[in-house]
Structure 1
Amino acid sequence: MNEQLLSLTHTGEEPEKYLHSVTPPVFLNSLHVYDRFEDYASIDPLREGEYIYGRASNPTVHILERKIAELEHGSRAAVFSSGMAACTSAIMAVCKAGSHVICMRDVYQPVTRFLENFCIPKLNMAVTYVSGNDLGEVEDAMKKGASLMILESPATFVFCVVDLKAIADLAHKYGVRTYIDNTCMTPIFQNPLDLGIDIVMHTMSKYIGGHSDLIGGVLVSKDDELMKQIIQEMREWYGGILGPMEGWLAIRGLRTLHARLMQHQSTAMEVAEFLEKNDKVRKIYYTGLKSNPQREIIEKQQRGHTSLMSFVLDASVEQSINFINNLKFFGKGCSWGGFESLALMPLYKSSQEELDFRNVDRQLIRIYCGLEGAENLLEDLEQAFNRL
């Protein structure tokens, strides 16, 4: 039995509650009213099927949360109005003024900006940056005392992978909570909670939404008390709950998540192998290639591969820009996870200091392989290389 497919399509649906509708309704109401005050006063939004006010909980949103919690093998999930709302809520739930945070250098850039521009100057936090691949470096940072370690695997830009179980074991030894952005893998390809990670986050505008028409984020954990704190304090106080329409769109996205990921992965494998053989490509970063130096750890904790990859051309920055501009089927834009292929140079505007910090090239090109078909994307890349 494939329990993932059942979770994607049936968990939380309960059509008998909604006139046997094949899809659940969108509850656009802001509040719920009761016949008796005693009934209202006894309601606890943290209990299954109990609702008072839309900032605390919503029936449509709750169906989505049940599905994602089951997919990630967590006790509870909490959805937010954006991935950054989820990320910052996790940090604020675990940390306090003066906390020490350990953070991978290659995490999503707005996360490091939040640490540098808010947590450090406003809350007097300390941040230690690590590669994540050197367990000795990670343990040395944990020995100094820390509240949280922020992870991403595969990580932004060059898609390096870290040993999640080994890091989780160290974190448990030193009493450090661990948080990971699992957006790139989705629960279909990776389940960090099963490897000992404490909190998993997804940006739902990517693969979970799948159609480039919603913004949202989600946190999942096996720690039910931590999740209750995140829901009651961080989300309700900050007001960052996902809207019911976005929740419904995310439910729709989950129905086809497995099928889309299989197609994305198949296309990306063909594209990555094509790029690897091209003598105009100096370096390629993709977890699915057999030549990947981290192949052993990738196969140990991943069940599949994203359709994101990066590469560096044997060319100047200007030539690399021209290469991107010559692509016809790759839109020039940020984000990813929808039906449309994308290409950009994400570090083009970065300072030399940041490039050195991340140990990456300014002309690094990141592409996302959408659903246009491998044949079309390969032809497009071929003609762009011919014009390079």
Structure 2
Amino acid sequence: MGSEDSERQQFDTRAVTFGEKADAAAGGDVVSPIHLSSTFALPGLDPDFGLEDADPEKGEWLYGRLSNPTRHALEKRLASLEGGEHGFAFASGTAAIATAAMAVVEPGDHVVAFDDLYAGTKRLFERVLRDRFGVDVEFVDATDLGAVAGAVREDTALVWMETPTNPLLRLCDVRGIAAIADAAGAVFGVDNTFLSPFFQNPLALGADVVAHSATKYLNGHSDSLGGALVTNDDALAEEIAFLQQVGFGNQMAPFDAYLVLRGVKTLPVRMRQHAANAQRVAEYLDDHDRVRAVHYPGLASHPQHDLAAEQTTGHGGILSFELDGEFADAKAFLEALTDFTLAVSVGGVESLVELPAGMTHEPLPKAEREAVGITDTLVRMSVGVEHVDDLLADLDRGFAAMPESRAVN
């Protein structure tokens, strides 16, 4: 399929077919096979044919680290879904973000980032970019466009955002920040993991590069690890390709590429169900007397509900809420749940729940966690595609297990 198909077809169609084409001469596989070969036979010896000369678009393959038919099909599909020209699949979301950053910054450069970034990304920026490579990393409250503008300097090389953030579901104004980054000559990257390209397209809003943990919604079944980058910037794409294939060798393995390629086929139908269930769960929690606050952009009470309506087409399946109590209350609530599984990660068809202060964000100092709103009773939920009535009944069980619980409204 070519670019004309990407422009002609709707998202749901491209999610199923783009990047794959049955080849009768090669067996007629409707689904891209898992190409596990680490190397590929050449038709002959050509002294002018080098490592970087093999063209996947022409079906030319040389070595699995450089390119692979299964991974190539996935990269084409992800680029199409994000509205980009260049797609890259990595071994993990962290590998993708690290590659994007290292493709842009040099020692002494300045980086502006959301202060509510995922803890793993924040540690990457602090312990690798700042501590090892001498990059000046500045974290700001990016819900305030003025704070971002005030932080950007002449030597700012990269502006990095998540929207919504993990785990507080804070949004930033992608269009507004894109204008700020562009005026400063900085590359603007957006982690789009929580909403997926189905609900948000940062490139169309002005971002230069979009990142995903493909482990999450793109795969959707909690059975593979992966990451992705998509960009329209040819020069940036060239540097990312060099780091992926030669500099770091952190590309996605063929079997994981097959799993994500399969998972993306159902992304639209999954995202619709995730969002519908999450909206019901958020409304239930928002009306519960043992809940202090609910963080979900789909609620009218969310401080950035209007911004969400402007730059997204849906609110996704992830929410967080703060229980009225202490750590022991949160522990009792979580351990009483049976349909929500206590586990890290998000984006699978099954519903997951976790306590950031004791799990995903535990490595952060308590003072630092609390400074950005991650209390000991903040619960994050990845709402799955099960029947929502069963999920609500499970939450009833959790609240009933809390000490001195009151009747559910």
Please give the TM-score of this superposition, normalised by the length of structure 1: 0.96
Tell me the equivalent position of 1:315: 325
Map 1:290-329 onto structure 2 (within 5 A): 290-329=300-339
Tell me the equivalent position of 2:29: 21
Tell me the equivalent position of 2:383: 369
CA shift in 2, pair 1:53/1:2, >3 Å: closer
Q: Is 1:243 the equivalent of 2:257?
A: no
- SS of the aligned residue for 1:200 comes to strand
Distance in 1, Cα, partners of 2:129 & 2:398: 43
Among 392, 397, 402, the alignment partner of 1:378 is 392
Tell me the equivalent position of 1:8: 15
Tell me the equivalent position of 2:53: 44
CA shift in 2, pair 1:46/1:131, >3 Å: farther
Give the letter for the 1:14 counterpart: K
- SS of the aligned residue for 1:122 comes to coil
Q: Is 1:33 the equivalent of 2:47?
A: no
CA shift in 2, pair 1:45/1:102, >3 Å: farther
More displaced 10-residue stretch of structure 1: 32-41 or 323-332:
32-41
**Cα root mean square deviation, aligned:** 1.6
Distance in 2, Cα, partners of 1:46 & 1:224: 16
- SS of the aligned residue for 2:160 comes to strand
Distance in 1, Cα, partners of 2:71 & 2:211: 16
Q: Is 1:259 the equivalent of 2:269?
A: yes
Give the letter for the 1:362 counterpart: D
Map 1:204-243 onto structure 2 (within 5 A): 204-243=214-253
CA shift in 2, pair 1:269/1:39, >3 Å: farther
Give the letter for the 1:248 counterpart: Y
Distance in 1, Cα, partners of 2:17 & 2:366: 49
Tell me the equivalent position of 1:164: 174
Among 374, 394, 401, the alignment partner of 1:360 is 374
Tell me the equivalent position of 1:143: 153
- Percent sequence identity over aligned pairs: 35
Map 1:168-179 onto structure 2 (within 5 A): 168-179=178-189
Distance in 2, Cα, partners of 1:290 & 1:2: 33
More displaced 10-residue stretch of structure 1: 113-122 or 206-215:
113-122
Shift of 1:290: 2.2
Shift of 1:336: 1.4
Distance in 1, Cα, partners of 2:48 & 2:288: 66
Give the letter for the 1:38 counterpart: D
Q: Is 1:272 the equivalent of 2:282?
A: yes
More displaced 10-residue stretch of structure 1: 143-152 or 64-73:
143-152
Distance in 2, Cα, partners of 1:290 & 1:284: 11
More displaced 10-residue stretch of structure 1: 19-28 or 227-236:
227-236
8 Å Cα contact 1:188/1:258 also seen in 2: yes
Distance in 2, Cα, partners of 1:230 & 1:103: 20
- SS of the aligned residue for 2:286 comes to helix
8 Å Cα contact 2:56/2:67 also seen in 1: no
Tell me the equivalent position of 2:407: none
- SS of the aligned residue for 1:56 comes to coil
CA shift in 2, pair 1:136/1:46, >3 Å: farther
Distance in 2, Cα, partners of 1:33 & 1:46: 14
Among 193, 196, 203, the alignment partner of 2:213 is 203
Distance in 2, Cα, partners of 1:247 & 1:294: 35
- SS of the aligned residue for 1:15 comes to coil
Q: Is there any run of 5+ residues in structure 2 with no aligned partner, and where?
A: 1-7, 403-409
Please give the TM-score of this superposition, normalised by the length of structure 2: 0.92
Give the letter for the 2:216 counterpart: K
Shift of 1:157: 1.2
Distance in 1, Cα, partners of 2:43 & 2:354: 56
8 Å Cα contact 2:157/2:187 also seen in 1: yes
Cα distance per residue 1:213-247 (max 9 Å; x no partner)? 10000100011221121112344321101111111
Distance in 2, Cα, partners of 1:318 & 1:306: 29
Cα distance per residue 1:264-291 (max 9 Å; x no partner)? 1111111111111111111000111122
8 Å Cα contact 1:148/1:178 also seen in 2: yes
Distance in 2, Cα, partners of 1:320 & 1:47: 51
Map 1:318-357 onto structure 2 (within 5 A): 318-348=328-358, 349=362, 350-357=364-371
8 Å Cα contact 2:337/2:395 also seen in 1: yes
Tell me the equivalent position of 1:286: 296
8 Å Cα contact 2:154/2:184 also seen in 1: no
- SS of the aligned residue for 1:275 comes to helix
Give the letter for the 1:111 counterpart: T
Give the letter for the 2:42 counterpart: Y
Give the letter for the 1:5 counterpart: D
Q: Is there any run of 5+ residues in structure 1 with no aligned partner, and where?
A: none
Give the letter for the 1:10 counterpart: T
8 Å Cα contact 2:104/2:157 also seen in 1: yes
